[in-house]
Amino acid sequence: MDTTLRITSARAGSSFVANIEKVSGQKLLACYQCGKCSAGCPMAAHMDVLPNQMIRMAQLGMQEQLLATRSIWMCVSCLTCNSRCPKGIKIAEVIEALRKAALNTGQRNDHLHVMELSAEARAVLPPIAMIGAMRKLTS
Amino acid sequence: MGNENKPMKLAYYPGCTLKNQATNFDVSTVSSMAKLDVEVEELDRWNCCGTVHALDSDNVMNRVAPITNMIRVKEAQAKTEGMASEFMTSCAMCYNTLKRANIDVKQRADALETINNLLYLEKTKYEGDVEVLHLLEYLRDRVGFDNLAKKVTKPLKGLRVASYYGCLLVRPKEVAFDDVENPMVMENLIRALGATPVEFSHKTECCGAYQTVDKPEVIADRTDKIMGAASEEQADMVVVSCPLCAFNLDYRQDDAKRLNPDFQNMPVLYFTQLMALAFGCDESALRFDLQHIDPLPALKARGLA
Ligand code: SF4
Ligand code: SF4
Ligand code: SF4
Ligand code: SF4
């Protein structure tokens, strides 16, 4: 993915950044990029952009790139990052705000297509899995 | 335990998965509590907690379902002698979601008022006056593991057990009733049952949760790593407290085996099944037939079945 970016104060001060900060209740600029969140993330191996990079991109207002990542859908809110961040940032909350932003766009494309699941999958999956997935991956 | 000889009454929230695929978790919870002289009373008209706690600030809508259950607890308490304003659940996910919603409304009077307004048809108002307990917490703090050990009729001698906490019992810190990085409550329970707790590097490593719905290949990788770590410690089995962890670590072993041909199958039990076994409950309280990986060979090898 192309992550080259022309940094401008207009972008970092955009309404997107303000919205993510408000919905997540976090101060994005508190992050000093130590990488601890990514080091312990159980989903990192399946992400295209790591949690610390997501925070960086959010600071810089990289809206289109962020909302197109696989990572926002891979994070399962396990809160390992939150409990270890030396700056007390709730990374999982930021990622939740990003998922919400993506689900709220006009071109909404849910990341779970229940009708495409196999009959076997639908028969064996417990409610705890189905409800969790629908809450997080659809709107 | 209580001073009188009357059994204690404890309100119980099973959650929807314990009434579906995880019947083994439900029956083993109720049966083992009966052996401890705690009368568990399932709440009337409980509703799903909503599973995952919504992380966006200001989310009041997703707190309505959990808080409705607090009202059910108050109703149960009002008509039941000897019942406290608290309830127990054994599902880690229910515990986490209900507890977080409860903490949230206790801290935000405006959110609580909004929820009570939305629930205007309820006769009882919620005032933040119900406590949410996880069964493990109840066993440790109210029953006590020394007392619990006295009820063991079939000590699980020689059985090597790895305790898997996953995320929901330890994170966030506000809901954890044990150390966030190295909890020991399940190990202490296992010891009280006569079994041997093993070290387990992956005990709080997330299993991938609901990604199991449409990305089983991701769970296969998590299950391979988590169960592989238990194999390295020569565990006979892994115990869990969450039906989603159970599904991923047990049922998804087939997917783990496809990913890694060297993967060793290992049974996954609920901690309540281990208790029921040590308390001498019969098969109707254990329901090992619902386990994907049969635990009987491992138990037989230790002379326990
Ligand atoms: S752990 Fe916290 S400070 Fe470190 S990179 Fe992650 S968010 Fe930033
Ligand atoms: S909450 Fe999300 S980003 Fe944080 S460690 Fe868990 S999966 Fe990774
Ligand atoms: S966590 Fe699960 S099992 Fe518990 S009530 Fe909610 S969805 Fe149902
Ligand atoms: S380990 Fe998996 S199912 Fe269990 S609590 Fe974490 S995410 Fe949930």
- pLDDT tens digits, one per residue of B178-217: 999 999 999 999 999 999 999 999 999 999 999 999 999 9
Q: Which residues contact A58 (CB under 8 A, 6 or more apart)?
A: A17, A20, A28, A66, A94, A98
User: Is the per-residue pLDDT at A20 higher than 70?
Assistant: yes
> Considering the domain boundaries, does residue A20 fall inside one?
yes
Residue A117 is assigned to a structural domain of this protein: no
B159 Cα–ligand 1 center, Å: 41
pLDDT at B238: 98
Is A83 at the interface with chain B, CB within 8 A?
yes
- Give the number of other Cβ atoms within 10 Å of residue B141's Cβ: 11
Choose from B214, B217, B270 for mutation: most chain A CBs within 10 A. B214
B4, pLDDT greater than 70 = no
Q: Residues with Cβ < 8 Å from B272, sequence gap 6 or more?
A: B25, B28, B29, B32, B90, B135
Structure tokens at B92: 């880690």
| Residue ranges making up the domain that contains A81 | 3-107
Average pLDDT over residues B164-171: 97
The pLDDT of B23-48, averaged and rounded, is 96
The whole-number pLDDT of residue B300 equals 98
pLDDT value of residue B2: 44
Nearest chain A residue to B205 by CA: give it.
A42
Task: Choose the weakest-confidence range: A8-22, B7-21, B69-83, B123-137.
Answer: A8-22
- Residues of chain B neighbouring A136 (CB-CB closer than 8 A): 52, 210
- A61 CB within 6 A, ligand 2: no
pLDDT digits 0-9 by tens, B123-148:
999 999 999 999 999 999 999 999 99
Task: Please indicate, yes or no, if residue A130 is contained in any of the structural domains.
Answer: no
Instruction: Note whether residue A125 is domain-resident.
Output: no
C-alpha of residue B156 to centroid of ligand 3, in Å:
30
| Cβ pair B55:A77 closer than 8 A | yes
The lowest-confidence range among A58-62, A120-124, B186-190, B264-268 is A120-124
Using a CB-CB cut-off of 8 Å, the residues of chain A touching B242 are: 128
**A101 vs B contacts (CB less than 8 Å):** none
The DSSP symbol for B10 reads E
Domain count, chain A: 1
Would A76 be classed as within a structural domain?
Answer: yes
d(CA A99, CA A68): 10
A82 contacts in chain B (CB < 8 Å): 171-172
Q: What is the CATH number of the domain that holds A93?
A: 1.10.1060
Residue B211, chain A, CB below 8 Å: the answer is: yes
Per-residue pLDDT band for B159 (boundaries 50, 70, 90) equals very high
Rounded to an integer, the average pLDDT of B38-51 is: 93
Q: In chain B, positions 143-202, which contact chain A (CB-CB < 8 Å)?
A: 167, 171-173, 180-181
pLDDT at position B6 over 80: no
Residue A106 pLDDT greater than 70, yes or no: no
Residue B142's pLDDT is: 96
What mean pLDDT is reported for chain B?
95
The whole-angstrom separation of Cα B246 and Cα B290 is 11
Is B67 a residue whose pLDDT tops 60? yes
Degrees, nearest 5: CA angle B10-B150-B280:
80
Q: CA–CA separation, B292 vs B295, rounded Å?
A: 9
Q: CA-based angle B26:B133:A95, to the nearest 5? A: 95
Confidence of residue A26 (pLDDT cuts 50, 70, 90): very high
pLDDT tens digits, one per residue of B276-289: 999 999 999 999 99
Percent of chain B with pLDDT over 90: 93
**pLDDT confidence of residue A114:** 84
**pLDDT tens digits for range B89-119:** 999 999 999 999 999 999 999 999 999 999 9
Task: Report whether pLDDT(A60) > 90.
Answer: yes
Q: Hey, which of B242, B247, B249, B271 would you mutate to test ligand 4's pocket, going by the most ligand atoms within 8 Å of its Cβ?
A: B242
A chain contacts of residue B62, beta-carbon cutoff 8 Å: 135
**pLDDT for B50:** 85
Query: pLDDT band for position B59 (50/70/90)?
Result: confident
Over 60: is that where the pLDDT of B1 sits?
no
Q: Which residue of B has its CA nearest to A83?
A: B172
Interchain proximity A80–B16, CB inside 8 Å = no
Asked if B215 contacts A137 with a C-beta cutoff of 8 angstroms, the reply is no
- A81 located within any domain: yes
Q: A113: pLDDT confidence band, cut at 50, 70 and 90?
A: confident
How many A from CA of B16 to the centre of ligand 4?
16
Instruction: Please identify, by atom number, the ligand 3 atom nearest to the C-alpha of residue B48.
Output: 5
Q: Are B152 and B142 in contact (CB under 8 A)?
A: no
State in Å: Cα A56 to ligand 1 middle.
9
Identify the pLDDT of residue A110.
66
% pLDDT > 70, chain A: 88
Residue nearest to atom 2 of ligand 3 (CA): A128
A70 found inside a domain: yes
Cα of B257 to nearest chain A Cα, Å = 18
List the Cα angle B107/B112/B117 in 5-degree steps. 170
Which of helix, strand or coil describes residue B38? strand
- Enumerate the residues of chain B whose CB falls inside 8 A of the CB of residue A100: 56
- C-alpha distance from residue B303 to each of A46, B159, B167 (Å): 42, 9, 33
CB A43 to CB B208 under 8 A? yes
* Residue B130, min C-alpha distance to chain A (Å): 24
Specify if A112 maps to a domain: no
Instruction: Please provide the average confidence, as pLDDT, over all residues in chain A.
Output: 91
Note the pTM of the prediction, 2 decimals: 0.93
**Residue A115 pLDDT level (bands cut at 50, 70, 90):** confident
Give the pLDDT confidence score for residue B93 in this predicted structure.
96
Can you give the pLDDT at residue B211? 96
Residue to mutate among B201, B210, B253, B290, with most A CBs inside 10 A, is B210
CA distance B185 to chain A (A): 19
B300 contact partners, CB below 8 Å, separation of at least 6? none
